[in-house]
Structure 1
Amino acid sequence: MTDQPVHILMIDDDEDDFYLVSQLLQDISPGQYDLAWAPTYSKAVEEIERKKHDIYLVDYRLGPYTGIDILHHFQQLQYKAPVIMLTGKGDYSIDKEAMQAGASDYLVKGEISADLLERSIRYALDEARHLRTIEEKEKKYFSVFEKAHDLIILADCDKNVIDANPAAIRTLLYSKEEFLQLNLKQLFLQEEQSRHFFDHICGEDSSLQTEYNFVTKEGKKLDVMVSAVMLDEAEQIFLCIAQDITERKREELEKQQQQKFIVTGRIARVIAHEVRNPLTNILLAVSQFKGEPVSMEESQVYVDIIERNCTRINQLITELLSSTRMIELNIRPHGANELTEKALLLAKDRLQLNEIKVNKDYSYPDIMVPADEEKVIIALLNIIINAIEAMTPGKGVLTINTERLKDKAVITISDNGPGIPEETKMRLFDPFFTNKPKGTGLGLTSTQNIIMNHKGTVHVESEIDRGSVFTVVLPAN
């Protein structure tokens, strides 16, 4: 860090998050950081194009946009400023997508501490500074080359290693002499990955950023995020920078496993509770048969109890399997407006009974999506019913919007209900999680499963006393 303050732009539509990050930066070192705020995508684009900030903190969720759209805007401008992605929860697919789109690092909002934020900013600035030096001086980069924490390798398209920095030699356990004798493809654990790397860097792309598996001299596997760029087209010499993410991925895997245990335990407890009640009734009925002889009329009553409760257990298991398993789809072209209208029609009685006003803002012409009509309608209906039940009868306003964003169809379903607390929002799509007295907690789980099977996404944004917005994104034809 220099004596001058580090100018940071935080792109986030949540003012509370901006305030918390501001406080964390003050805790690190008052006056060392100058934090500005862009609460919308349009404001963010405007500020990015000014190129006045040293580093950018970007929230993954930005209403109809995502942090990936922000990263793509950096790429369009060819503006290689360091970007740290902020995600709402640990999601490896989002983190991997962000890193591939050019993010320097990612942080999980609920886990950010002052030390973690400072270290991430410092590392991101260091990495960006190194990359700029390399690009500006091309082969005259050796002062930075020697000090970099990441693995840096200079090679050619004949797979010869020309040079390697101390971090690469130290991490991969070769001597400098051995490293210079290597064929670069020997560093890849899988031949397919080696072929993919050279096809891209030595093909038309001339640059790439992808996760691969390296292997050390002793056969130890390393997970690395590789960035490579062609430095000399004539000589076919390229620079390869590999960030060792082995430890990070291990920690992520442990965290995911812990979350699986938590969810599994919660599901087990709910199933135990749901099954135990009808099972108790069955056992009581059976005990009556084992006791004193009963009349035919009484026997029929006990048989009905057993049948009814067995049906309940079977229904519970069927609902659980249907909400979580991969499903077969009958894919046909359908309009996003068409699917939404059919879901609304199924909810017509509920809307009228609760005197809910419906506002619609559809994109025209209709956006065609490859979809299983019946299943997508069910997914949208679950969201609509949730919105209806959240709103006050006679005062509710349901707003539905469709629009095309590049190759995606976006359907947003908004309500003016009481909003969803943050701790509830994090569990909203978990199996059996419900706040409804008679709910199974499988409706939104089923919705998420259907949308994911269509290669789409569904997420929710909510603000207490302001309502909630569910956003469904599907691939468009």
Structure 2
Amino acid sequence: MTEELVHILMIDDDEDDYFLVSSLLDDVSPGQYKVDWAGTYNEGIAAIATRQHDIYLIDYRLGQYTGIDILRHFQQINYKAPVIILTGKGDYSIDKEAMTAGASDYLVKGEITAPVLERTVRYVLDEFRHLRAIAESERKYFGIFEKSHDLILLADCDKKIIDANPAALRKLEYSKDELLHLHMQDLFLEKEQGVEFVEEICKEDAITHIEYIFKSKSGNRLDVLVNANMLDEENQVFLCVAEDITQRKREEMEKRQQEKFVISGRIARVIAHEVRNPLTNILLAISQFKVEPISPNPEESSVYLDIVERNCHRINQLVTELLQSTRMMDLHPESVFANQLLIKTLEHAQDRLQLNGIKVEKNFMRPDVILQLDVDKMIIALLNIVINAIEAMKPNEGELTLTTYLEKDKVCIRIKDNGIGIPEENKARLFEPFFTDKTKGTGLGLTSTQNIILNHKGSIHVESAPGKGTEFVILLPQQ
């Protein structure tokens, strides 16, 4: 039983009945109920207007009025409250009329006992609160259903649509009647997708964040992100909420196309710059051959030929780096300890570390873990990161931290520096081909690093902020 004081209004023209009800309730639950009395219809109407009571006990006979008139008054003022009608013995038709008019229950005066009265009041209050909670949930659901910008559909596992919200009707360009005559797979651009969707929801009970393609009545394509859940297991009714992502997908595609255009332009400029310089040297050397006598001096010829050969190698190296930075590569895996891999990488960078006075800290896991890698290629990948870190730190102030540990079934390698950090606008472009903020360099180092790691079924991301250093985080599958 609730510990809150329950306020009861009793509308009855017999004051003795009021005292009897008050006494019965006080006997069975002392201090739990407070009963107020209204002796006439008008007094009752005035007390109802205050809306200060939790439940109402109303005698059916109130002079020229009846309890049914009180119930109708509740309806007129749109006031929902639990009402118990008190009737005389044998007035069964009145009992039925009262329940039809909105009474929560009825009691026969001659049969009222303290336990019956208290239990009836308690049950009616509990039921009213329960129904009010249900009504509030329905109101909220109806508001969401009607006002949501997402497409909301109710369907059964016979694939028939049984309800749809206004957003669904608007975006799919159907009337309510037209849509309710369709089956769920009729909404899909590809029939196979629709059949797969319905079979999946009927088997799995839920579909979460899966993209599908709907079509409108006029045939327009709708890219949607679908969440669906079974609402009624017995009747196999499920709720489908589809977010229209058509515009977002279009914008993403346009953005990707623009980014590809920008990248293509940058690649063209870098290649033009990197190739033009050695080509200029080659052309100058050849022009010297043309102005020389038919039998030039062998020493001078050797100089010009060396220039041509050296610059041809330079062009060839650039093309090779470009191809290797983006293509799938042949790997020759072998067993290597994760910590030992980093030690080997540091050995390749030892001269640079000493020259710049970089302090190295190694936080290696114990015991070490064996990886299956193409060691030479992975050292190249890690060395690119280490060299970038060295160049980002001030000489004699740099601190390079290498950490390894297990993260579920993957080995995590973290390479952290205390350098200048990376601006936010550059972080997303770090692995793009030819992107670099250095005065020298092709911008292919990190592209190649990412490609090597991806070819090993690993992942790499960067955490950085200007002035706070940079940390590369690499995850590699444990073999």
Q: Same fold (TM over 0.5)?
A: yes
Q: Is the CA contact (8 Å cut-off) linking 2:421 and 2:467 kept in structure 1?
A: yes
1:191 deviates by 4.1
Partner of 2:363: 361
1:355 deviates by 3.2
Partner of 1:186: 186
Q: What is the count of residue pairs matched by the alignment?
A: 344
Query: Which entry has the higher C-alpha Rg, 1 or 2?
Result: 2
Q: What is the aligned-residue RMSD (CA, Å)? A: 2.7
1:15-414 equivalence runs, <5 A: 137=137, 141-294=141-294, 295-297=296-298, 298-331=300-333, 334-367=336-369, 371-414=373-416
Instruction: Answer with 153-162 or 458-467: which moved more.
Output: 458-467
1:426 deviates by 4.3
Q: Is the CA contact (8 Å cut-off) linking 1:201 and 1:208 kept in structure 2?
A: no
Q: Give deviations 1:42-85, integer Å, cap 9, x for gaps.
A: xxxxxxxxxxxxxxxxxxxxxxxxxxxxxxxxxxxxxxxxxxxx
Aligned-partner Cα distance in 2 for 1:410–1:138: 49
Give the residue type in structure 1 aligned to 2:169.
I
Q: Is the CA contact (8 Å cut-off) linking 1:359 and 1:398 kept in structure 2?
A: yes
Aligned-partner Cα distance in 1 for 2:478–2:139: 45
Aligned-partner Cα distance in 2 for 1:192–1:366: 49
Partner of 1:89: none
Aligned-partner Cα distance in 2 for 1:208–1:438: 48
Give the residue type in structure 1 aligned to 2:267.
I
Q: Is the CA contact (8 Å cut-off) linking 1:138 and 1:231 kept in structure 2?
A: no
Partner of 1:121: none
1:173 deviates by 1.9
Match of residue 453, structure 2, among 437, 448, 451: 451
Tell me, which stretches of 5 or more residues in structure 1 are unaligned?
A: 1-132
Q: Is the CA contact (8 Å cut-off) linking 1:173 and 1:218 kept in structure 2?
A: yes
1:141 deviates by 3.2
Distance 1:167-1:270 versus aligned 2 partners, 3 A rule: same
Aligned-partner Cα distance in 1 for 2:237–2:335: 47
Q: Give deviations 1:305-338, integer Å, cap 9, x for gaps.
A: 2222111111111111111222233456654334
Distance 1:359-1:212 versus aligned 2 partners, 3 A rule: same
Q: Is the CA contact (8 Å cut-off) linking 2:163 and 2:180 kept in structure 1?
A: yes
Distance 1:168-1:422 versus aligned 2 partners, 3 A rule: closer
TM-score (ref. length: structure 2): 0.66
Partner of 1:462: 464
Distance 1:327-1:210 versus aligned 2 partners, 3 A rule: same
Q: Is the CA contact (8 Å cut-off) linking 2:229 and 2:239 kept in structure 1?
A: yes
Partner of 1:112: none
Aligned-partner Cα distance in 2 for 1:208–1:425: 31
Partner of 2:129: none
1:210 deviates by 0.9
Distance 1:216-1:329 versus aligned 2 partners, 3 A rule: farther
Instruction: Answer with 363-372 or 443-452: which moved more.
Output: 363-372
Distance 1:339-1:304 versus aligned 2 partners, 3 A rule: same
Partner of 2:418: 416
Q: Give deviations 1:356-397, integer Å, cap 9, x for gaps.
A: 222111233445555433322221111111112222333322
Aligned-partner Cα distance in 1 for 2:454–2:193: 27
1:164 deviates by 1.3
Aligned-partner Cα distance in 1 for 2:187–2:357: 66
Aligned-partner Cα distance in 1 for 2:333–2:372: 6
Percentage of matched positions with identical amino acids? 62
Tell me, which stretches of 5 or more residues in structure 2 are unaligned?
A: 1-132
Distance 1:426-1:142 versus aligned 2 partners, 3 A rule: closer
TM-score (ref. length: structure 1): 0.66
